[in-house]
Structure 1
Amino acid sequence: MIHDYCVVGGGIVGLATAMVLLRRQPGASLVLLEKEARLGQHQTGHNSGVIHAGIYYAPGSLKAELCRRGAAATKEFCTEHNIPFETCGKLIVATNAAELARMDALFERSIRNAVPVERIDAAELRRREPNVAGVGALWSPSTGIVDYARVCDAMGEVIRAAGGEVVLGAAVTAIREGVAEVTVSAGERRWSARRLVVCGGLQSDRLATLAGLRIEHRIVPFRGEYYRLPPSRNDVVRSLIYPVPDPELPFLGVHLTRMIDGGVTVGPNAVLGFAREGYRKGSISARDVVDYARFGGFWRTVLRHRRSAMGELRDSFWKPGYLAQCRKYCPSLTLADLLPQEAGIRAQAVLRDGTLVQDFLFGETDRMLHVFNAPSPAATSAIPIGEMIADKCGRVGN
């Protein structure tokens, strides 16, 4: 059988893409392949669970538009499929004068992005969040929280109900593009399709190479290490507490996040990972390390960001240093409050010149579309990202 579409990758972007393709083309035949035993097991299932409002992104940019549309689409999808979510809001907290100036610029950006936001002073911050310290803050009332793994499970059911096939435990081992079709193998099993869409996340560069594409980047894994507060501290914050972004740093920094299960996490930091899918501390994959160590762009980005990287690495191994980052916003936290929590891993695309890719990166042939990089917040924006990818695919027969 030749399918109309084959989608590789059962994270939220691959699932949203498959869902959109079937919605737009009722009756199309589609198979989605996922190497794990359950959907959403990697980046999607290890993120912070935040439905972002779109404050941070350049006004008029694609990321700003996708995030704004994605937040609304995610909440609508959750409502339709009885998935719990909460619009708890987010406070972006300034802790000194320099951050206060950047916060004011962020406020102007939010207004231009048509994202609801309120500027509050230190007294109002203390009233709203007695356990949070700061000289001012921005209040984003539309930011929410959800369990994206549950969203993935529901998307899988939507795909099946629309006639699509979801195959779990299918680790792709070969991709061959012909004139009229693409053949994808997972060991002895094979599927053929007129269009192939690869949303491979942490393995996207390897899947592209497997398909014969020449690429100018590599995926470098960055661990986001979290701690979870004990249940007795679940009421320490009422909303999400985020830092004011520093444009000199490649990642956002430590924040306090309420989770949909009622818990609170603090983090993440951002340290180099020694395994693309090694979520436990100390996980090492020789193949993964050799992969990026042989890539010149990796060493260029290390050199470029060496100062912040050393600080993150120090705090990864020295818990009091990590606590100090948390206490900038929540001074009452103690070492005893920092309980173990499984890390997340970000698939960071790095170019040969050492640039960290912060936007979309695709690879295309006549019958294949590879999503090399879907920038944060891809989980929030997944449904409109799926629409964008479906647009790029065109219709079968074209």
Structure 2
Amino acid sequence: MEAYKEYDYLLIGAGIMGLTICFELQKKYPDKRIAIIEKENDVAKHASGRNSGVLHAGFYYTSNSLKAKFTKDGNMLMKEFCDSNGIYVNHCKKVVVASNEEELRVLYELYDRGKQNGVDISLIDEEELYQIEPNSKTYKRALFSPTTASVNPVEVCKKLKEILIEKKVDFFFNTKYLKRKEDIIVTNKVNFKPKLLINAAGLYADVIAKDYGFSRDRIIIPFKGIYLKYTGSDQLIKTNIYPVPNLLNPFLGVHYTVTADNHIKIGPTSMPAFWRENYGGLRNFKLAEFLQISYFEILLFITNSFNFRKLAISEIRKYNKAHFAGLAKKLTNNLEIRKFNQWLKPGIRAQLLNKKTLELEMDFIIEGDSKSIHLLNAVSPAFTCSFSIAKYLMNTENLREPEPKSETITYS
């Protein structure tokens, strides 16, 4: 076996971020040698294939954040890619509803953010809400987002893989990053020597970043997200219905999602997980991960940073289907919640925690230098933003910096 394979660009992770960055790289540098390594046997095996498929509009985020910078354009670019490649887009739209005066104030804040971010959004009254989605209800006002849509995320990722293989990008599946040895990337199969490494490893992005001197004061704390599917034959809801979120944490609350194939589901949960791939049972259990993550979760519980104690207790209660569905029922009228009774496969949110402040990072974080770029905290709406982030990284100064660079913009 040869000592190593040489590439101009080596990407780690065949999720949506790795695939879209590779897609834009190949377009910009068609003669460069590009490869993707992925520890699973195919694309989209983790968050990219387990998310809701919702294309967000971009009104949740303050204007100085990377999420605001990338969501609006990412929504448009993803739709363009899908339209160009025969992938169905469900233009199901979205409403955000309030339940009291306090939530109404947050609703106005979201409207202001949307306007600052250039998002197509409007404040509507109860009668207008009824015309859009008769089964939803609100307190005085609601937000209407006409550009929110849904796609099948696995279908998007598989199409990207197909295109990239046609363009002679090399895929190495079942190939796990083990360590960095100077300029060599050591894996369980073959070693690599890239001119530039791009780390889009999701749940393990922080671990790889540390091998390059980045993400020193941060660690990924996994949160498990599960949806309940509506099993009735009738289509009771045609529009995504979301509650007003708590702006102090990055979770959007239990909501109704209309999928690309017009199924209805409620969720997700935001349950603290105990190791990075804690989907169910003891599969992929790693003692070192369990001990490390448990330590920080216990610390968060004791200090109650960002109200973690209440979050953890409330999330555990969601394992009861009736309780879980009851939370969603608050957003609607006359909905038979007992038909929300089928658990869908869980996903894990790779949420970055600042170890010094014990606060969750609210924004995307991009760090890197002339040898490597690391995408950290690539959580929702990362799927929506993926093409936009990829195009941003195509700027020469972002791909090749002579001196170490760190770009971190925090949502506030």
> How does the TM-score come out when normalised to structure 1?
0.91
In structure 1, the residue matched to 2:193 is 192
Deviations 1:260-317 (A, max 9, x none): 1221110012110123223237866533321223448953796212343144334233
- The answer to whether the 8 Å contact 1:274/1:285 transfers is no
Q: What CA distance in whole angstroms lies between the structure 2 residues aligned with 1:27 and 1:183?
A: 22
1:162 aligns with 2:164: no
In structure 2, the residue matched to 1:203 is 204
Q: What CA distance in whole angstroms lies between the structure 2 residues aligned with 1:301 and 1:64?
A: 33
Deviations 1:216-246 (A, max 9, x none): 111110011210110424x111111011122
In structure 1, the residue matched to 2:408 is none
In structure 1, the residue matched to 2:320 is 318
In structure 1, the residue matched to 2:123 is 119
1:334 aligns with 2:340: no
> What amino acid does structure 2 have at the position aligned with 1:139?
F
Partner-residue secondary structure (3-state), 1:173: strand
Partner-residue secondary structure (3-state), 2:150: strand
Q: Give the CA deviation at 1:18.
A: 1.2
1:346 aligns with 2:352: no
Q: What CA distance in whole angstroms lies between the structure 2 residues aligned with 1:228 and 1:3?
A: 44
5 Å-filtered alignment, 1:29-44, equals 29-44=33-48
Partner-residue secondary structure (3-state), 2:325: helix
The CA RMSD measured in Å over matched residues stands at 2.4
Q: From 103, 121, 142, give the equivalent of 1:137.
A: 142
Q: What CA distance in whole angstroms lies between the structure 1 residues aligned with 2:158 and 2:401?
A: 26
Q: Give the CA deviation at 1:71.
A: 0.7
Q: Give the CA deviation at 1:54.
A: 0.8
1:246 aligns with 2:250: no
Q: What CA distance in whole angstroms lies between the structure 1 residues aligned with 2:198 and 2:347?
A: 25
Q: What CA distance in whole angstroms lies between the structure 2 residues aligned with 1:274 and 1:217?
A: 17
1:361 aligns with 2:352: no
Deviations 1:372-398 (A, max 9, x none): 2224311001012112333322399xx
Are residues 373 and 306 of structure 1, via their aligned partners in 2, closer, same or farther at CA, if it must alter by over 3 Å? closer
Partner-residue secondary structure (3-state), 2:26: helix
- The answer to whether the 8 Å contact 1:55/1:115 transfers is yes
> What amino acid does structure 2 have at the position aligned with 1:348?
Q
In structure 2, the residue matched to 1:274 is 274
| Mean CA deviation greater in 298-307 or 246-255 | 298-307
Are residues 295 and 109 of structure 1, via their aligned partners in 2, closer, same or farther at CA, if it must alter by over 3 Å? closer
Are residues 249 and 208 of structure 1, via their aligned partners in 2, closer, same or farther at CA, if it must alter by over 3 Å? closer
In structure 2, the residue matched to 1:371 is 375
Q: From 78, 89, 93, give the equivalent of 2:93.
A: 89
Q: Give the CA deviation at 1:159.
A: 2.0
Q: What CA distance in whole angstroms lies between the structure 2 residues aligned with 1:309 and 1:292?
A: 16
Q: Give the CA deviation at 1:103.
A: 1.2
Aligned residues: 391
* Alignment gaps of 5+ in structure 1: none
Q: Give the CA deviation at 1:201.
A: 0.6
- The answer to whether the 8 Å contact 1:35/1:169 transfers is yes
Q: Give the CA deviation at 1:29.
A: 0.4
Q: What CA distance in whole angstroms lies between the structure 1 residues aligned with 2:111 and 2:12?
A: 39
Partner-residue secondary structure (3-state), 1:317: coil
- The answer to whether the 8 Å contact 1:301/1:354 transfers is no
Deviations 1:118-175 (A, max 9, x none): 2221222233322222223111111110011111111122222332111211111222
> How does the TM-score come out when normalised to structure 2?
0.88
Are residues 183 and 70 of structure 1, via their aligned partners in 2, closer, same or farther at CA, if it must alter by over 3 Å? same
